Structure 1
Amino acid sequence: MMAEKFSIAGGEIPAAGRDRQDVAHADGSGAGVCPEDRDRVALYGLLASGLQGPVGQDWLDVVSGLSGGGGDLAEAISGLAVAAAQAEPEPLARDYHDLFIGVGRGELVPYGSYYLTGFLNEKPLALLRQDMRRLGIERDPGVKEPEDHIAALCQMMAGLIEGDFGDGSPAASSRFFRAHPASWTPYFFKDLEATDRGAVYPALGRLGRVFIELEEHADALFEEQRGAG
């Protein structure tokens, strides 16, 4: 669905859940996907792995090797790579704490319910849980955070595109995207891009913003084609 391409120098994009998973694949089936959708899966995985907790040196080493061609998405990937090459895990861990944990709460609250209602554990979370049950997405029992965390949503989108959840159809991932990530993540990523906490998290916010904008555009075209058909 995306027109822009990117490449990886020096390794694979780090997938979410390398050390911890927010969601578990119900059956682990995973249908084959086209190269374009593999790029989407990789980008959702990159966003999830960068936002589910403080990143380590391995993450920085891999991300610093990412590169792209032209276009806004490639520029955002390259910007993140430059930031990662200059970053160190310890200061990044402090940035993560200040941004998302803080004393009482962080500068940003990365949950859908909060962005949509101003409170945690509200109706948007209940609706997400309904869709998770319908699609066979199970919460990992070792994770205590609510399922509407930004990293968990990115993991769910990656699984839907790969065919690990639901029926594996583009329509299923499209419905989920419009109901959940599209409803609030553009605002979250804009807020993250605007933060002054180091260079990595603003760059990650820029990447998320640009990527979700592309996803929204592609989804609108998909719906038009479905309607015309």
Structure 2
Amino acid sequence: MEPQDQIDSASADSGGAISIETEDRLRADLYSLLALLLAKPPGPDVLTKLQEFTGESTDIGSGVKTLAKLAGKISPKACEKEFNALFIGLGRGELLPYASFYMTGFLNEKPLARLRQDMRAFGISRAEDVFEPEDNIASLCEMMAGLIQGSFLRPVSLQEQRDFFRIHIGPWAGHFFSDLEAAKNSVFYAPVGTIGRAFMQIESEAFRLDE
């Protein structure tokens, strides 16, 4: 499954996809899954695909199994209603999934300006039909997946992935996913929070060990 594109990027200089390790492909797939589910409510095709997912006896695996079970019970209309309550609402949703808000308490602050600077360096821009700030969690997950896959101007080193994560994702995404897991309006999205929270912990620890 591919996420609803929040961003555009220049083609890789190599002219094609690069080969990446299995572990990194799994990381990219998890980021892409989070981007897919957080960009917009899942439609019938996505819900059907989610029902095929299985998980091991880990926090991520437990979240995946719960998500697959819920995907078989919830309707696209109910998903849309929950998504709107969580992220849109009348004026605003229950949660504001933006780096600037979590890191400063306000929208459109310095974290967004720093992100835009780094996006330019990687040849990334916001898609023309997307109007929300680029520091929303769906866009950041999509960017991280692209960095791992080497989808942008050039292949990206592990050090550059680590720097991007530590500046733009690590300081706040775990808190956001914990909030999503426990949100009043979260039913289908509660296990998405579980998956994201556990994955952010794993990424943080792995990058620390790779220093």
TM tier relative to shorter chain: over 0.9
Structure 1: distance between partners of 2:185 and 2:79:
9
Deviations 1:41-94 (A, max 9, x none): 111011011010111111111111101223222122112111212111111111
What is residue 185 of structure 1 aligned with on the other side?
Answer: 173
Q: CA deviation at 1:169?
A: 1.3
Deviant stretches of 4+, over 4 Å: none
Structure 2: distance between partners of 1:100 and 1:129:
22
What is residue 80 of structure 2 aligned with on the other side?
Answer: 93
Structure 1: distance between partners of 2:162 and 2:131:
27
What is residue 212 of structure 1 aligned with on the other side?
Answer: 200
Structure 1: distance between partners of 2:41 and 2:98:
17
Which ranges in structure 2 are unaligned for 5 or more consecutive residues?
none
The 5 A counterparts of 1:6-21 are 14-17=1-4, 21=5
Structure 1: distance between partners of 2:63 and 2:209:
23
TM-score relative to the length of structure 2: 0.94
Equivalent pair of 1:195/1:202 in contact (CA under 8 Å): yes
Q: CA deviation at 1:198?
A: 4.8
Does 2:180 match 1:196?
no
Q: Which amino acid aligns with 2:76?
A: P
Does 2:121 match 1:137?
no
Which ranges in structure 1 are unaligned for 5 or more consecutive residues?
1-13, 224-229
Structure 1: distance between partners of 2:95 and 2:121:
30
The 5 A counterparts of 1:90-169 are 90-165=77-152, 166-169=154-157
Does 2:62 match 1:75?
yes
Deviations 1:2-24 (A, max 9, x none): xxxxxxxxxxxx2212xxx1111
Q: Which amino acid aligns with 2:201?
A: E
CA RMSD across the alignment: 1.3
Q: Which has the higher contact order (CA 8 A, sep 6+)?
A: 2
Q: Which amino acid aligns with 2:182?
A: A
Question: 1:138 aligns to what SS in structure 2?
Answer: strand
Deviates more, 1:72-81 or 1:147-156: 72-81
Equivalent pair of 1:163/1:169 in contact (CA under 8 Å): no
Q: Which amino acid aligns with 1:63?
A: L
Does 2:8 match 1:24?
yes
Equivalent pair of 2:60/2:194 in contact (CA under 8 Å): no
TM-score relative to the length of structure 1: 0.86
Deviations 1:151-183 (A, max 9, x none): 000000000000123532111111101111101
> Which of 134, 152, 161 matches 1:173?
161
Structure 1: distance between partners of 2:62 and 2:208:
23
Structure 2: distance between partners of 1:163 and 1:130:
19
Question: 2:54 aligns to what SS in structure 1?
Answer: strand
Structure 2: distance between partners of 1:69 and 1:122:
39
Structure 1: distance between partners of 2:72 and 2:183:
19
